[in-house]
Structure 1
Amino acid sequence: MDEGALSTVLTGKEHENLERDKTKKKNREAPEDSTFDTEKTRQMSTESNDFTNNSQQNIDDSQSSFKNNQKDSNLITPRMEYLIHTYQVFDSKKVRKKARRMAIQLMEQIGYTVMVVTPGKFAIKYASSAPYHLFFTRVENSKETYNQQFSIIFSEILDRSFGEIVNSLHLTFMVDVIWLYLQYLLAGQCIDMTILYKHKIRDHEALSENITIIKVDRQHEFSSHHTNIMILQYKNGIRVIVSTAGLYSVDWENRTQGLWISPHLPYLPESAHPSDGESPTGFKKDLERYLDKYDQPVLTQWISAVRRVDFSDVNVFLVASVPGIHKGYEANFWGYKKLAYILSRYVTLPPDAQWPIVALSSGVGSFGSTVENWLLKDIIRCMSKETSIGLKNHPQFQFIYPSIENYKQSFDCQTLITPLTYSAELHSKQQWLEQYLYQWKAKRTGRDRAIPCIKSYTRISPDSKRIPWFLLTSANLSKVAWGSTKQYEGYSIGNYEAGVAFIPKLITGTATFPIGEEEDTAVPIFPIPYDLPLSRYDSVDSPFVNEFVDSLNEM
């Protein structure tokens, strides 16, 4: 297969057929996760769903394809080799400018959407995002998002105003290494990097000796590597980024994604103890513990780097999941139990407060035949935690998940792709969920047509002006992402996931964050990606299911 050819990503059923064919016809075996030439331009989506013995859906953001621009596909490999060998050092503005120009040219030839900003200015935008440092991806088809202080494109993360990158670590669900390399080239940064992934867009292991790429094997049949974390290493420290977006172009073009970028974290003195430089939130130890769970020798140097860095300026909590059965006190380190642990120690709501829990997710798991099976018993109970102890009614639960009408109006629908994962068969078994469903509306931020791949959880005051906490995460609303308690088995989690929890007490010294623009307060407004108040599904609405895209593809 021509390495430069662009792909149509297979549907889940087509992938199963391919795997079967690979077993039968080893002489024509295709590389795992490889891509295939097509005769015409086409975009499709795939469901990446697995099921446990209890029919638990394993939520993976759908794989998406790229435009199949064959015009210069035979030139991609030699051009990439030339760029890799030519631009190892970016020691002058002239060299960076030339590399940037060549990267843009190659992206246009391949068929990637070219998203650029003036380089060298992101440090100013980052400073203005304090104290939250929360960003949403710029939407290519929504010009309204271009000049927002909280909008970002990928190459800005790598901007040299942050410093010169000497090495980087990427933990991701899906990666297109060519696209990722070109982003580094746009920013004039070194491409020494390590990538741990679940899916890759195409097969090109020999792209560069500077890149180490490792597929994360499942610890058991139903686990998924769904995390999106970056660690950028500079000569004088590191920076950590926790995101909801994968490392491929479609996820950064016309979808709503979120990411948190840490402050610059300097190295500690050589005489410091590894436990020194901890943040008030315990982020350093939590990150070290999370990386250690991979049991990957390639991560040893990164665990060491984390130990040698001062995290004292980090003001968010790391909320992660790792596959396995977790028992005893150790269970509190992961999933919904980790979030419950944080909320019960740092969040205080007014007495008798009726603040609904608001979940936003791009995938829907298997919850059982009633709300009591898992959603109420585990998730709502967890997210109701606070410091005050006493009997309170469970708060209202509101679940933002795009309807079919939301999808039909989206930019993704124009090319028949989707990051959403939910099956009609599964919904038929839990139609009670419809009473909790709310539309995706984001006109205020110019993202109404940018389907959310972002996942977030919070509670919102009845007047829609305040929140007591906010979680940005890769974790969809599912058991495999958050965990579930099983009798005699302990606390079970299927996926690798990662998110950050924003707690007012640790960031602004207040009990809540203001979210209403009209609020007269010295505390900066916390950015919420969707419109408030929320909009319930209309009587004619139904949740998006992947079969809807299949039906459009068949037309």
Structure 2
Amino acid sequence: MQLFSFPKSIPSPFRLTRIRDLPANLNQDTVTLKDLLGDPLISECWEFNYMHDIDFLMSAFDEDTRHLVKVHVVHGFWKREDLSRVTLHEQAARYPNVALHAAYMPEMFGTHHSKMMILLRHDDTARIVIHTANMIVRDWTNMTQAVWMSPWLPLMKGPSQQENVHEAKPGSGAKFKVDLLNYLRAYDSRGRETCKPIIEKLMRFDFSEVKGALIASVPGRHKLNDSSPTRWGWAAMEQALKTVPVHQQAEIAIQISSIATLGPTDNWLKNTFSRALSGGRGVSLSQPPPSFKVIFPTADEIRKSLDGYASGGSIHTKIQSPQQVKQLQQADKSAVLDSGRKRAAPHIKTYIRYGNKSHQTIDWALLTSANLSKQAWGEAASAPGGSKGKSTASSGDREVRIASYEIGVLVWPELWGEDAAMKATFMTDNLGDSRGGEFTEQEGKVTVALRMPYSLPLQPYDNAEVPWVATTNHEEPDWMGQVWRVE
């Protein structure tokens, strides 16, 4: 008997969230919070985020069982008098099954910005959900957001085997598990036991079906030569990308909802952040780096968005200094290949490396909570104690300072097969669907779809366009007749 190998198309590992005020044809394959939490078998939920609406969160659980779900909310409001903390406690007091946990926040300018849910079910399965939305109504209705979900993970068979954590391959379930547990352990610094219960439970689960590398940040000073197998911030990206095959004539597109002040010069952006993202398997420093483009909405796009100026409150940058103006001179918008998200203001954060300028192939894609900032990704490597260690500190002595909690998932084609390819898809999660992108049948080859949150190709701002700046007055009315004034 002759066996034939058929082509295979893999649905997008990233899912877009449903937009309330868009028609059904623009919401194909999307997910809602109720899709994620409405399973009546869910027994426990750990919810990590920056902003929280407990009433909204609880409304997403199954109506008949929500009072039985053990809900743990992890937040970053460490000041007892913080109005957000006070409101959170007032809301949680209405639900006997909700427990609040304040994250360990050692950095003054850091935030608890990670967006993740860990779900446990009564059938002894677990799921990790990493996404981009705050746990508030506005973020889950009319703003562009995305979600990565692990499969439902079973319990490990037989006695737990201690794996060699230093040999776990980037992108494998074993490495993902190691890094996730190390991330959770960061909450338990200095004798705390915030996440100890969920750590002990997750250790029993089999992560082997997970495809993706966890890219996370935790606050503190982290040595680049310590014995931990887990790196944080830009160092985590640098470590993971060493195993990822990439094309040479590449372009990296960064879509974020906030751009911080990155310093008086572009040294950090060029020599630390961009350099970390430019790596790949076999890439040498002598090779030309990929070009970088930043996708950021214009003021006019915010005016025309479904929520008008109201959506602009979640999108932040400044133009108060020459360096901030320079940062935005390379911003882009998108057009032509329609993602169906033009009117849904972006709160999503994606970092995507295209294998060529025509965006026909994708080398890797990162979905994350991290915006473009040193607080999220980490300062440049320095000598211990904070002094910049150029010639005085050896590479073994260097450390990275991070201020915030962030979390994301990096995927690339090879995770689905040695010769696999990844291609953009529009308005659907599947290649070959109408508007879904071309699926070229090659015998035995795997093609992975990547659902695009923006349209292609990217177009630079024209002379009449300006970026959205929430700290500036916008007197031109939005489509609902409202103006934006900063008090």
**SS of the counterpart of 1:449?**
coil
Aligned to 1:234: 121
Taking the TM superposition and a 5 Å limit, the aligned residue runs for 1:326-345 are: 326-330=222-226, 333-345=231-243
Matched, 1:520 2:440: yes
**What is the CA–CA distance in structure 2 between the aligned matches of 1:414 and 1:434, rounded to whole Å?**
20
Give CA-to-partner distance per residue, 1:205-229, whole Å, 9 cap, x none: 4122211012325212111100011
Deviates more, 1:377-386 or 1:521-530: 521-530
Matched, 1:472 2:357: no
TM-score by length of 1: 0.71
Aligned to 1:444: 338
Identify if the C-alpha distance between structure 1 residues 414 and 365 changes in structure 2 by more than 3 Å, giving closer, same or farther: closer
Greater fraction of residues in helix? 1
Identify if the C-alpha distance between structure 1 residues 406 and 508 changes in structure 2 by more than 3 Å, giving closer, same or farther: farther
Q: Partner amino acid for 1:285?
A: V
**What is the CA–CA distance in structure 2 between the aligned matches of 1:549 and 1:258, rounded to whole Å?**
30
Please say if residues 347 and 387 of structure 1, whose CA atoms lie closer than 8 Å, have aligned partners that are also in contact. Answer: yes
Q: Partner amino acid for 1:232?
A: L
Taking the TM superposition and a 5 Å limit, the aligned residue runs for 1:162-201 are: 164-186=41-63, 188-189=65-66, 190-198=68-76, 200=84
Identify if the C-alpha distance between structure 1 residues 511 and 306 changes in structure 2 by more than 3 Å, giving closer, same or farther: same
Taking the TM superposition and a 5 Å limit, the aligned residue runs for 1:183-262 are: 183-186=60-63, 188-189=65-66, 190-198=68-76, 200=84, 202=88, 203-235=90-122, 236-262=124-150
Identify if the C-alpha distance between structure 1 residues 405 and 313 changes in structure 2 by more than 3 Å, giving closer, same or farther: same
Structure 1 moving runs of 4+ over 6 Å: none
Aligned to 2:459: 535
**What is the CA–CA distance in structure 2 between the aligned matches of 1:466 and 1:210, rounded to whole Å?**
47
Please say if residues 174 and 207 of structure 2, whose CA atoms lie closer than 8 Å, have aligned partners that are also in contact. Answer: no
**SS of the counterpart of 2:410?**
strand
Taking the TM superposition and a 5 Å limit, the aligned residue runs for 1:110-509 are: 130=10, 132-144=12-24, 147-149=27-29, 151-160=30-39, 164-186=41-63, 188-189=65-66, 190-198=68-76, 200=84, 202=88, 203-235=90-122, 236-269=124-157, 271-275=159-163, 279-280=172-173, 282-295=175-188, 296-330=192-226, 333-349=231-247, 353-371=248-266, 373-390=267-284, 391-413=286-308, 415=310, 417-426=312-321, 428-439=322-333, 444-460=338-354, 461-488=356-383, 489=386, 490-509=399-418
Identify if the C-alpha distance between structure 1 residues 285 and 271 changes in structure 2 by more than 3 Å, giving closer, same or farther: same
**What is the CA–CA distance in structure 1 between the aligned matches of 2:16 and 2:336, rounded to whole Å?**
12
Q: Partner amino acid for 2:37?
A: L
Give CA-to-partner distance per residue, 1:473-495, whole Å, 9 cap, x none: 00001111111225323311111
**SS of the counterpart of 2:235?**
helix
Identify if the C-alpha distance between structure 1 residues 444 and 219 changes in structure 2 by more than 3 Å, giving closer, same or farther: same
Q: Partner amino acid for 2:185?
A: D
Deviates more, 1:328-337 or 1:315-324: 328-337
* Alignment RMSD (CA, Å): 2.6
Please say if residues 216 and 233 of structure 2, whose CA atoms lie closer than 8 Å, have aligned partners that are also in contact. Answer: yes
**What is the CA–CA distance in structure 1 between the aligned matches of 2:210 and 2:451, rounded to whole Å?**
18
Give CA-to-partner distance per residue, 1:307-353, whole Å, 9 cap, x none: 1000000011100000111113348611111111111122232xxx2
Aligned to 1:29: none
Give CA-to-partner distance per residue, 1:490-510, whole Å, 9 cap, x none: 311111000000021112433
Q: Partner amino acid for 1:343?
A: L
Deviates more, 1:340-349 or 1:256-265: 340-349
**SS of the counterpart of 1:546?**
coil
**What is the CA–CA distance in structure 2 between the aligned matches of 1:252 and 1:443, rounded to whole Å?**
24
Q: Partner amino acid for 1:509?
A: E
**SS of the counterpart of 1:525?**
strand
Q: CA deviation at 1:132?
A: 4.0
Identify if the C-alpha distance between structure 1 residues 187 and 248 changes in structure 2 by more than 3 Å, giving closer, same or farther: farther
**SS of the counterpart of 1:286?**
helix
Q: CA deviation at 1:441?
A: 5.1
**SS of the counterpart of 2:61?**
helix
Pick one of 465, 469, 479 that aligns with 1:545: 469
**What is the CA–CA distance in structure 1 between the aligned matches of 2:99 and 2:335, rounded to whole Å?**
40
Give CA-to-partner distance per residue, 1:258-296, whole Å, 9 cap, x none: 110100101113522254997456000000000000014
Identify if the C-alpha distance between structure 1 residues 129 and 414 changes in structure 2 by more than 3 Å, giving closer, same or farther: farther
Deviates more, 1:417-426 or 1:395-404: 417-426
Please say if residues 318 and 324 of structure 2, whose CA atoms lie closer than 8 Å, have aligned partners that are also in contact. Answer: no
Please say if residues 226 and 496 of structure 1, whose CA atoms lie closer than 8 Å, have aligned partners that are also in contact. Answer: yes
**SS of the counterpart of 1:542?**
coil
Q: Partner amino acid for 2:150?
A: S
Please say if residues 9 and 449 of structure 2, whose CA atoms lie closer than 8 Å, have aligned partners that are also in contact. Answer: no
Q: CA deviation at 1:188?
A: 4.6
Taking the TM superposition and a 5 Å limit, the aligned residue runs for 1:70-81 are: none
**SS of the counterpart of 2:290?**
coil
Q: CA deviation at 1:408?
A: 1.4
**What is the CA–CA distance in structure 1 between the aligned matches of 2:163 and 2:97, rounded to whole Å?**
31
Identify if the C-alpha distance between structure 1 residues 153 and 336 changes in structure 2 by more than 3 Å, giving closer, same or farther: same
Greater fraction of residues in strand? 2
Identify if the C-alpha distance between structure 1 residues 441 and 492 changes in structure 2 by more than 3 Å, giving closer, same or farther: farther
Gaps of 5+ in 2: 1-7, 78-83, 387-398, 426-436, 476-482
Please say if residues 76 and 103 of structure 2, whose CA atoms lie closer than 8 Å, have aligned partners that are also in contact. Answer: yes
Deviates more, 1:188-197 or 1:444-453: 188-197
Give CA-to-partner distance per residue, 1:97-146, whole Å, 9 cap, x none: xxxxxxxxxxxxxxxxxxxxxxxxxxxxxxx9955432111111111456
**SS of the counterpart of 1:381?**
helix
Identify if the C-alpha distance between structure 1 residues 240 and 549 changes in structure 2 by more than 3 Å, giving closer, same or farther: farther
TM-score by length of 2: 0.80
Taking the TM superposition and a 5 Å limit, the aligned residue runs for 1:53-92 are: none
Q: CA deviation at 1:418?
A: 2.4
Q: Tell me how many residue pairs correspond in the alignment.
A: 420
**What is the CA–CA distance in structure 2 between the aligned matches of 1:410 and 1:186, rounded to whole Å?**
32
